[in-house]
Structure 1
Amino acid sequence: MIEVTCAIIFKNNQVLIAQRGVNMKLPLKWEFPGGKVEHGESKVASLVREIKEELNLEISISKGLTDVLHHYPDFSLRLYPFICKYQGGELNAVEHAQVKWEKITNLMAYDWAAADVPVVKELMELYQ
């Protein structure tokens, strides 16, 4: 079981979404940015590190949302989503095909990675 964190980063009433690269698993699917929790690392430390490495952003964590357990055909993961606030940094996507700030009301228009869909739905319910 892979443990993964993701950040729902708020800035100016929009959230940051990321499209996976062509050479990544689940190519070109949309997701909330984040990454794998390394051995001995806390979920919060993992998320702050991953967002800095992948996007060059500083964030603060506000609260966790409901964990998602998802089984893809070739791997399983537990996704730990966190509501975050943008604190600084110049956005620079290192791994993703593209990243963009989007209104919560528009999120269902994207082709999401299956594990992220419950997070999108919970987010939309919370911020209607």
Structure 2
Amino acid sequence: MLKVAAGILIDQQNILIARRAPGKDLAGYWEFPGGKIEPNETAEAALIREFREEFQVEIRVLNPFHKNEHMYSSKTILLESYIAQHVSGEFQLRDHDQLAWVTIPELSNYQMAPADVPIVEKLLHTFKEKGAIK
């Protein structure tokens, strides 16, 4: 099983999502950015590393949010998502061709990667109940 970390970057009431670039796995799908967790690496450390590598930005990982397994045709992943915030740096695109800061209700308008759908559902449920993500 492939372990993957995803960052739910929150700025005010907006969340960062990124669209996979043409030629990449799941091209055209939107996702919460992140990447593979290397051996002997924590999910939090993987997120910090991936945001540096993919976007040239620094983030702060705040809290665990959701964990789910997803079976793709070629692999099964364990996706660990965390609430995080942007600390510094201008976003550069490498594995993605577009970024969007969206409200939680707007997430329903985007074609999210299948493994990210349970995260969207939990965000929508939490937002509906509490009016915000804490």
TM class by smaller structure: over 0.9
Which residue does the alignment assign to 2:55?
A: 55
Is 1:98 the counterpart of 2:98? The answer is yes
Q: Which ranges of 4 or more aligned residues in structure 1 deviate by more than 6 Å?
A: none
Over aligned residues, Cα RMSD in angstroms? 1.0
SS at match of 2:66: coil
Instruction: Give the alignment's TM-score, normalised by structure 1.
Output: 0.95
Q: Name the count of aligned residue pairs.
A: 128
Unaligned 5+ residue runs, structure 1? none
Deviation at residue 12 of structure 1 after TM alignment: 2.7
Structure 1 distance, partners of 2:87, 2:65, is 20
Cα deviations by residue, 1:49-77 (Å, 9 ceiling, x for unpaired): 10111112211111112211000111110
Which residue does the alignment assign to 2:131?
A: none
SS at match of 2:7: strand
Kindly provide the amino acid, as one letter, of the partner of residue 64 in structure 1.
P
Which residue does the alignment assign to 1:11?
A: 11
Which residue does the alignment assign to 1:124?
A: 124
SS at match of 2:73: coil
Unaligned 5+ residue runs, structure 2? 129-134
Structure 2 distance, partners of 1:25, 1:126, is 29
Deviation at residue 127 of structure 1 after TM alignment: 2.3
Is 1:64 the counterpart of 2:51? The answer is no
SS at match of 1:91: coil
Kindly provide the amino acid, as one letter, of the partner of residue 85 in structure 1.
Q
Structure 2 distance, partners of 1:125, 1:86, is 24
1:71-110 counterparts in 2 under 5 A?
71-110=71-110
Structure 1 distance, partners of 2:13, 2:89, is 18
Instruction: Give the alignment's TM-score, normalised by structure 2.
Output: 0.91
Which residue does the alignment assign to 1:31?
A: 31
Identity of aligned residues (%): 34
